[in-house]
A = this chain, B = another copy of it.
Amino acid sequence: MGFLVKLGILVLVVAVCQAYQDIWDYDGHKLKDTDYLSLWPMPQKVQTSVTAFKLSSSNFQIVHAKQSSAGPGCSLLQTAFRRYFDYIFGYMKKQGFSKEPKKTVGEEVLELQVLITSSDSECDGYPGLKSDESYLLSVDQPSAVLQAPTVWGALRGLETFSQLVYEDAYGSRNINKTAISDFPRFAHRGVLLDTSRHYLPLKVILANLEAMAMNKFNVFHWHIVDDPSFPYVSRTFPDLSQKGAYHPYTHVYTPSDVKMVIEFARMRGIRVIPEFDTPGHTQSWGKSQKDLLTPCYSGATPSGSYGPVNPMLNSTYDFMASFFKEISSVFPDAYVHLGGDEVDFSCWKSNPDITKFMAEQGFGKDYSKLESYYIQRLLDIVSTTNKGYMIWQEVFDNGVKLKPETLVHVWIWWGKGGYKDELSRVTSAGYQTLLSAPWYLNIISYGQDWKNLYKEDPHNFNGTDEQKKLVIGGEACLWGEYVDATNITPRLWPRASAVSERLWSDASVKDVNKAYVRLVQHRCRMVERGIAAEPLFVGYCPHEYKGNL
Q: In the complex, what's the smallest C-beta–C-beta distance from A544 to chain B, in angstroms?
A: 6
A532: which of B229, B443, B487, B536 is its contact (CB, 8 Å)? B487
In the complex, residue of chain B having the shortest beta-carbon distance to the beta carbon of A548: B547
A479 to B5 CA separation, bound complex (whole angstroms): 9
- Tell me if A199 and B544 are in contact (CB < 8 A): yes
Min CB distance A191 to B, Å, is 14
B445 touches A540 (CB 8 A): no
| Per-residue contact bits, chain A 264-294, to B (CB 8 Å; 1 contact, 0 not) | 0000000000000100010000000000000
Q: What 1/0 mask marks residues of chain A from 412 to 441 whose CB sits below 8 Å from any chain B CB?
A: 100000000000000000000000100000
Decide: A534 and B486 in contact? CB cutoff 8 A: yes
Of residues 215 through 257 on chain A, the ones whose CB sits less than 8 Å from some CB of chain B are 223, 226-229, 246-247, 250-251
Given A342-B1, A446-B444, A538-B198, the answer on whether A484 and B544 have CB atoms closer than 8 Å is yes
In the assembled complex, which residues on chain B have CB atoms less than 8 Å from the CB atom of A247?
540, 542
Report the count of interface residues on A (CB-CB < 8 A).
68
- With contacts A485-B544, A490-B490 taken as known, whether A538 is within 8 angstroms of B197 at the C-beta atoms is yes
Complexed CA–CA distance, A486 and B412 (Å): 31
Task: Evaluate contact between B487 and A534: CB separation under 8 angstroms.
Answer: yes
Q: Tell me which of B339, B342, B447, B545 contacts A3 (CB under 8 A).
A: B342
With A1-B392, A392-B1, A445-B446 already in contact, the answer to whether A246 and B540 are too (CB < 8 A) is yes
Is A332 close to B, CB under 8 A?
no
Q: Does A175 contact B (CB under 8 A)?
A: no
Residue A537 is within 8 A (CB to CB) of chain B in the complex: yes
A508-549 CB mask vs B (1 if < 8 Å, else 0) is 000000000000000000010000111111111010111111
The listed residue (B201, B281, B481, B533) touching A4 by CB distance below 8 A is B481
Q: Is A480 in contact with chain B by the CB < 8 A criterion? A: yes
Q: Is A483 among interface residues, defined by CB-CB distance under 8 A?
A: yes
Q: Any chain B CB within 8 A of the CB of A482?
A: yes
A106 lies within 8 A of chain B by Cβ: no
Counting CB contacts under 8 A, is A2 at the interface? yes
Question: A142 near B: Cβ within 8 Å?
Answer: no
Q: How far is the CB of A249 from chain B (nearest CB, A)?
A: 11
A1 to B435: give the CA distance in the assembly, Å.
12
CB <8 Å contact, B486 and A490: yes
Is A8 in contact with chain B by the CB < 8 A criterion?
yes
Tell me whether B481 and A5 are in contact (CB under 8 A): yes
Which of A247, A444, A491, A544 has the most chain B CB atoms inside 10 A of its CB? A544
Please state if B341 and A1 are interface contacts (CB–CB under 8 Å).
Answer: yes
Please tell me how many copies of the chain the complex holds: 2
Determine whether A203 belongs to the interface, using a CB cutoff of 8 Å to chain B. Answer: yes
In the complex, A155 has a CB within 8 A of chain B: no
Shortest Cβ gap from A221 to chain B (Å) = 10
Question: For residue A251, which residue of chain B has the nearest CB?
Answer: B540
A8 to B481, CA, bound (A): 8
User: Do B484 and A534 touch (CB < 8 A)?
Assistant: yes
Interface pair A535/B198, CB less than 8 Å apart:
yes
A283 to chain B, nearest CB (A): 9
The reply to whether the CB of A411 lies closer than 8 angstroms to some CB of chain B is: yes
* A9 on the B face (CB < 8 A): yes
- The reply to whether the CB of A115 lies closer than 8 angstroms to some CB of chain B is no
Residue contact A228 to B539, C-beta cutoff 8 Å: yes
A203 contacts across to B, CB distance below 8 A: 547
Tell me if B484 and A2 are in contact (CB < 8 A). no
What residues of B have a CB within 8 angstroms of the CB of A547 in the complex? 203, 485, 548-549
**Contact, CB under 8 Å: B281 / A2:** yes
Task: Please give, as numbers and ranges, the residues of chain B lying within 8 Å of A527 by CB-CB distance.
Answer: 486
B1 near A484: Cβ-Cβ < 8 Å: no
B-contact 0/1 string along A463-482, CB 8 Å cutoff: 00000000000000101111
Contacts of A484 in B (CB 8 A): 534-535, 540, 544-545
Docked-complex contact A481 and B538, CB < 8 angstroms: yes
Q: Is the CB of A540 within 8 A of B199?
A: yes
Partner of A2, one of B226, B446, B447, B532: B226
What residues on B are CB-neighbors of A549 within 8 Å?
Answer: 547
State whether A227 touches B9 (Cβ < 8 A).
Answer: yes
Q: Identify 13 residue pairs between A and B in the complex whose beta-carbon atoms are under 8 Å apart, listed by A's number.
A: A1-B341, A1-B342, A5-B197, A6-B344, A197-B538, A201-B545, A247-B540, A444-B444, A480-B538, A485-B532, A485-B545, A486-B490, A490-B490
User: 7 shortest A-B CB distances, which residue pairs?
Assistant: A547-B549, A487-B490, A486-B532, A246-B540, A485-B545, A487-B534, A197-B538
Known A-B contacts: A5-B197, A197-B538, A199-B544. Give 5 more (CB < 8 A): A1-B479, A2-B341, A2-B342, A5-B479, A9-B227
